[in-house]
Amino acid sequence: MLRLSGLSKTYPNGTQALADVTLDVPQGEIVAFVGGSGCGKTTMLRLIAGLEQASKGRVELDGETLTAPHPAVGVIFQEPRLLPWLTVAQNIGFGLSALSRAEREARVEEALLRVGLAGYGGRWPRELSGGQAQRVAIVRALVARPKVLLLDEPFSALDAFTRASLHEHLIGLWEAHKPTLLLVTHDVEEAVTLADRVIVLQPKPGRIFAEPTLDLTRPRDKVGHDFADAKRRILAALDGSLQAPSPTRPREEIAGAWW
Protein backbone atom coordinates (compact mmCIF):
# COMPACT_ATOMS: atom_id res chain seq x y z
CA MET A 1 0.00 0.00 0.00
CA LEU A 2 1.25 3.44 -0.99
CA ARG A 3 -0.14 6.13 1.30
CA LEU A 4 0.05 9.91 0.96
CA SER A 5 -0.96 11.63 4.20
CA GLY A 6 -1.61 15.37 4.24
CA LEU A 7 1.10 15.89 1.63
CA SER A 8 1.95 19.57 1.11
CA LYS A 9 4.78 21.38 -0.65
CA THR A 10 5.65 25.08 -0.50
CA TYR A 11 8.77 26.25 -2.32
CA PRO A 12 11.19 28.83 -0.87
CA ASN A 13 9.73 31.56 -3.11
CA GLY A 14 6.35 31.05 -1.43
CA THR A 15 4.69 29.07 -4.24
CA GLN A 16 2.40 26.44 -2.75
CA ALA A 17 2.48 23.54 -5.19
CA LEU A 18 0.47 21.00 -3.15
CA ALA A 19 -1.92 21.33 -0.24
CA ASP A 20 -3.05 18.45 2.00
CA VAL A 21 -3.10 15.62 -0.55
CA THR A 22 -4.25 12.40 1.12
CA LEU A 23 -4.50 9.23 -0.95
CA ASP A 24 -4.27 5.46 -0.53
CA VAL A 25 -3.15 3.38 -3.52
CA PRO A 26 -3.40 -0.42 -3.14
CA GLN A 27 -0.64 -2.60 -4.53
CA GLY A 28 -1.09 -3.22 -8.25
CA GLU A 29 -3.47 -0.33 -8.96
CA ILE A 30 -2.86 1.96 -11.94
CA VAL A 31 -3.67 5.58 -11.08
CA ALA A 32 -3.53 8.49 -13.53
CA PHE A 33 -3.23 12.12 -12.41
CA VAL A 34 -4.67 14.86 -14.60
CA GLY A 35 -5.23 18.54 -13.99
CA GLY A 36 -4.58 22.09 -15.08
CA SER A 37 -1.26 23.88 -15.07
CA GLY A 38 0.04 24.47 -11.56
CA CYS A 39 -1.82 21.56 -9.95
CA GLY A 40 1.39 19.95 -8.67
CA LYS A 41 1.30 16.68 -10.63
CA THR A 42 5.05 16.48 -11.20
CA THR A 43 5.82 17.85 -7.73
CA MET A 44 3.80 15.01 -6.23
CA LEU A 45 5.74 12.40 -8.20
CA ARG A 46 9.03 13.97 -7.11
CA LEU A 47 7.93 13.82 -3.47
CA ILE A 48 7.00 10.14 -3.80
CA ALA A 49 10.32 9.44 -5.57
CA GLY A 50 12.24 11.16 -2.77
CA LEU A 51 13.65 13.79 -5.13
CA GLU A 52 11.91 16.57 -3.15
CA GLN A 53 11.09 16.91 0.54
CA ALA A 54 7.52 17.60 1.65
CA SER A 55 6.78 20.75 3.63
CA LYS A 56 4.09 18.84 5.53
CA GLY A 57 2.71 15.33 5.54
CA ARG A 58 4.43 12.11 4.56
CA VAL A 59 4.73 9.36 1.96
CA GLU A 60 4.57 5.74 3.17
CA LEU A 61 5.09 2.46 1.35
CA ASP A 62 3.94 -0.60 3.29
CA GLY A 63 4.27 1.41 6.50
CA GLU A 64 7.78 2.71 5.78
CA THR A 65 8.14 6.49 5.48
CA LEU A 66 9.91 7.51 2.28
CA THR A 67 12.12 10.61 2.45
CA ALA A 68 14.77 9.73 -0.17
CA PRO A 69 15.04 7.63 -3.35
CA HIS A 70 14.11 4.01 -2.56
CA PRO A 71 14.89 0.82 -4.50
CA ALA A 72 11.21 -0.16 -4.38
CA VAL A 73 10.22 2.98 -6.31
CA GLY A 74 11.12 3.36 -9.99
CA VAL A 75 10.73 6.43 -12.20
CA ILE A 76 10.22 6.88 -15.95
CA PHE A 77 10.69 10.43 -17.19
CA GLN A 78 9.48 12.25 -20.31
CA GLU A 79 12.81 11.50 -22.04
CA PRO A 80 14.40 8.02 -22.07
CA ARG A 81 17.60 9.24 -20.36
CA LEU A 82 19.61 6.23 -21.52
CA LEU A 83 23.34 6.21 -20.83
CA PRO A 84 24.95 6.75 -24.26
CA TRP A 85 28.18 4.91 -23.40
CA LEU A 86 26.29 1.68 -22.56
CA THR A 87 24.58 -0.71 -24.96
CA VAL A 88 20.84 -1.30 -24.77
CA ALA A 89 21.37 -4.49 -22.74
CA GLN A 90 23.79 -2.74 -20.39
CA ASN A 91 21.33 0.13 -19.87
CA ILE A 92 18.54 -2.29 -18.95
CA GLY A 93 20.75 -4.34 -16.64
CA PHE A 94 22.40 -1.31 -15.02
CA GLY A 95 20.45 -1.62 -11.75
CA LEU A 96 20.73 -5.41 -11.49
CA SER A 97 24.30 -5.69 -10.23
CA ALA A 98 23.16 -7.70 -7.20
CA LEU A 99 22.06 -10.55 -9.46
CA SER A 100 24.30 -13.17 -11.00
CA ARG A 101 25.43 -12.52 -14.55
CA ALA A 102 23.28 -15.38 -15.87
CA GLU A 103 20.13 -14.13 -14.11
CA ARG A 104 20.81 -10.55 -15.16
CA GLU A 105 21.21 -11.55 -18.80
CA ALA A 106 18.07 -13.70 -18.65
CA ARG A 107 15.99 -10.82 -17.29
CA VAL A 108 17.32 -8.42 -19.90
CA GLU A 109 16.66 -10.86 -22.74
CA GLU A 110 13.13 -11.55 -21.51
CA ALA A 111 12.42 -7.82 -21.16
CA LEU A 112 13.60 -7.05 -24.70
CA LEU A 113 11.46 -9.88 -26.04
CA ARG A 114 8.36 -8.52 -24.26
CA VAL A 115 8.67 -5.11 -25.93
CA GLY A 116 9.52 -6.39 -29.39
CA LEU A 117 13.23 -5.55 -29.25
CA ALA A 118 14.74 -9.03 -29.23
CA GLY A 119 18.19 -8.84 -30.78
CA TYR A 120 18.64 -5.14 -29.92
CA GLY A 121 20.73 -5.72 -26.78
CA GLY A 122 24.03 -4.97 -28.50
CA ARG A 123 22.89 -1.71 -30.08
CA TRP A 124 23.75 1.76 -28.83
CA PRO A 125 21.08 4.28 -27.73
CA ARG A 126 21.94 6.52 -30.69
CA GLU A 127 20.84 3.72 -33.04
CA LEU A 128 17.28 3.64 -31.65
CA SER A 129 14.18 5.56 -32.71
CA GLY A 130 12.36 7.65 -30.11
CA GLY A 131 9.77 4.95 -29.52
CA GLN A 132 12.41 2.22 -29.23
CA ALA A 133 14.41 4.28 -26.74
CA GLN A 134 11.33 4.84 -24.60
CA ARG A 135 10.58 1.11 -24.66
CA VAL A 136 14.08 0.51 -23.33
CA ALA A 137 13.49 3.12 -20.60
CA ILE A 138 10.26 1.38 -19.59
CA VAL A 139 11.80 -2.09 -19.34
CA ARG A 140 14.86 -0.67 -17.56
CA ALA A 141 12.53 0.61 -14.83
CA LEU A 142 10.40 -2.55 -14.67
CA VAL A 143 13.17 -5.17 -14.90
CA ALA A 144 14.20 -4.35 -11.32
CA ARG A 145 10.61 -5.27 -10.31
CA PRO A 146 9.79 -2.19 -8.22
CA LYS A 147 6.69 -2.12 -6.03
CA VAL A 148 5.83 1.36 -7.34
CA LEU A 149 6.57 2.86 -10.75
CA LEU A 150 6.16 6.60 -11.33
CA LEU A 151 5.60 7.78 -14.91
CA ASP A 152 5.93 11.50 -15.62
CA GLU A 153 4.32 11.99 -19.06
CA PRO A 154 6.59 9.34 -20.63
CA PHE A 155 4.67 9.23 -23.93
CA SER A 156 4.03 12.95 -24.47
CA ALA A 157 6.76 13.46 -27.11
CA LEU A 158 5.71 10.48 -29.26
CA ASP A 159 3.35 10.27 -32.22
CA ALA A 160 -0.09 8.75 -31.69
CA PHE A 161 0.73 5.39 -33.29
CA THR A 162 3.90 4.89 -31.24
CA ARG A 163 2.13 6.03 -28.08
CA ALA A 164 -0.68 3.49 -28.56
CA SER A 165 1.89 0.74 -29.13
CA LEU A 166 3.76 1.66 -25.95
CA HIS A 167 0.51 1.64 -23.98
CA GLU A 168 0.08 -2.00 -24.96
CA HIS A 169 3.69 -2.82 -24.07
CA LEU A 170 3.37 -1.11 -20.68
CA ILE A 171 0.22 -3.02 -19.75
CA GLY A 172 1.81 -6.26 -20.92
CA LEU A 173 4.83 -5.66 -18.67
CA TRP A 174 2.62 -4.55 -15.76
CA GLU A 175 0.57 -7.76 -15.94
CA ALA A 176 3.69 -9.85 -15.23
CA HIS A 177 4.26 -8.59 -11.66
CA LYS A 178 1.49 -6.01 -11.02
CA PRO A 179 3.49 -3.08 -9.59
CA THR A 180 1.60 0.03 -8.56
CA LEU A 181 1.70 2.55 -11.42
CA LEU A 182 1.24 6.30 -10.93
CA LEU A 183 0.97 8.14 -14.24
CA VAL A 184 1.00 11.88 -14.81
CA THR A 185 -0.58 12.82 -18.13
CA HIS A 186 -2.31 15.69 -19.95
CA ASP A 187 -4.02 13.21 -22.28
CA VAL A 188 -7.48 12.17 -21.02
CA GLU A 189 -7.69 9.32 -23.54
CA GLU A 190 -4.35 8.01 -22.30
CA ALA A 191 -5.62 8.12 -18.71
CA VAL A 192 -8.76 6.16 -19.64
CA THR A 193 -6.72 3.69 -21.70
CA LEU A 194 -4.35 2.81 -18.87
CA ALA A 195 -5.80 3.61 -15.46
CA ASP A 196 -8.03 1.90 -12.93
CA ARG A 197 -8.66 5.26 -11.28
CA VAL A 198 -8.15 8.87 -12.34
CA ILE A 199 -7.28 11.60 -9.84
CA VAL A 200 -8.34 15.06 -11.02
CA LEU A 201 -6.24 17.73 -9.31
CA GLN A 202 -7.34 21.32 -8.79
CA PRO A 203 -4.56 23.90 -9.28
CA LYS A 204 -3.10 26.70 -7.18
CA PRO A 205 -2.48 25.01 -4.83
CA GLY A 206 -2.69 21.44 -6.09
CA ARG A 207 -5.25 19.30 -4.29
CA ILE A 208 -7.61 16.45 -5.10
CA PHE A 209 -10.85 17.56 -6.74
CA ALA A 210 -12.36 14.26 -7.96
CA GLU A 211 -11.50 10.53 -8.17
CA PRO A 212 -13.42 8.87 -11.03
CA THR A 213 -13.09 5.07 -10.98
CA LEU A 214 -12.86 3.35 -14.37
CA ASP A 215 -14.82 0.10 -14.35
CA LEU A 216 -13.53 -0.98 -17.75
CA THR A 217 -12.16 -4.35 -18.83
CA ARG A 218 -8.75 -4.73 -20.49
CA PRO A 219 -7.87 -4.37 -23.26
CA ARG A 220 -9.87 -1.14 -23.44
CA ASP A 221 -12.34 -0.68 -26.28
CA LYS A 222 -11.53 2.86 -27.39
CA VAL A 223 -14.56 3.12 -29.67
CA GLY A 224 -17.04 1.72 -27.16
CA HIS A 225 -19.74 3.63 -25.28
CA ASP A 226 -18.20 2.97 -21.84
CA PHE A 227 -14.83 4.38 -22.92
CA ALA A 228 -16.47 7.53 -24.33
CA ASP A 229 -18.56 7.94 -21.17
CA ALA A 230 -15.45 7.69 -18.98
CA LYS A 231 -13.74 10.40 -21.04
CA ARG A 232 -16.79 12.66 -20.68
CA ARG A 233 -16.84 12.19 -16.90
CA ILE A 234 -13.17 13.08 -16.57
CA LEU A 235 -13.46 16.10 -18.86
CA ALA A 236 -16.45 17.30 -16.81
CA ALA A 237 -14.40 16.91 -13.63
CA LEU A 238 -11.52 18.85 -15.20
CA ASP A 239 -13.86 21.67 -16.15
CA GLY A 240 -15.24 21.66 -12.61
CA SER A 241 -11.77 21.79 -11.10
CA LEU A 242 -11.05 24.99 -13.00
CA GLN A 243 -14.33 26.64 -12.07
CA ALA A 244 -14.16 25.80 -8.36
CA PRO A 245 -12.83 28.61 -6.12
CA SER A 246 -9.22 28.39 -4.93
CA PRO A 247 -7.89 30.13 -1.81
CA THR A 248 -4.86 31.48 -3.70
CA ARG A 249 -6.27 31.87 -7.20
CA PRO A 250 -7.99 35.06 -8.42
CA ARG A 251 -11.33 34.44 -10.14
CA GLU A 252 -10.14 36.12 -13.34
CA GLU A 253 -7.65 33.26 -13.83
CA ILE A 254 -10.30 30.53 -13.69
CA ALA A 255 -11.43 30.98 -17.30
CA GLY A 256 -8.15 29.48 -18.63
CA ALA A 257 -8.37 26.14 -20.44
CA TRP A 258 -7.04 23.14 -18.48
CA TRP A 259 -4.75 21.96 -21.29
List the domain boundaries for the chain.
2-81+145-245
Looking at residue 249, what is its pLDDT? 47
Confidence class for position 219, pLDDT limits 50, 70, 90: confident
Q: Say whether pLDDT at 252 is over 60.
A: no
Q: Say whether pLDDT at 204 is over 90.
A: no
pLDDT, tens digit (0-9, with 9 covering 90-100), for 130-174:
889 988 999 899 888 999 999 999 888 788 888 888 898 899 889
Confidence class for position 246, pLDDT limits 50, 70, 90: low
pLDDT, tens digit (0-9, with 9 covering 90-100), for 64-94:
999 899 999 999 988 889 999 999 999 999 8
First-last CA distance in the chain: 31
What is the amino acid identity at position 219? P
**C-alpha span between 31 and 210 (Å, rounded):** 13
Superfamily of the domain at 2-81+145-245: P-loop containing nucleotide triphosphate hydrolases (3.40.50.300)
Other beta carbons within 10 Å of 72: 16
Lowest mean pLDDT segment, chosen from 21-25, 28-32, 105-109: 105-109
Confidence class for position 6, pLDDT limits 50, 70, 90: very high
Residue 52: exposure state from Cβ atoms within 10 A (0-12, 13-18, ≥19): middle
Q: Say whether pLDDT at 258 is over 70.
A: no
Contact criterion met (CB below 8 Å) for 223 and 190? no
Other beta carbons within 10 Å of 239: 13
Q: Give just the sign of the alpha carbon dihedral 183, 21, 3, 198.
A: negative
pTM of the model as a whole: 0.88
Q: Say whether pLDDT at 253 is over 70.
A: no
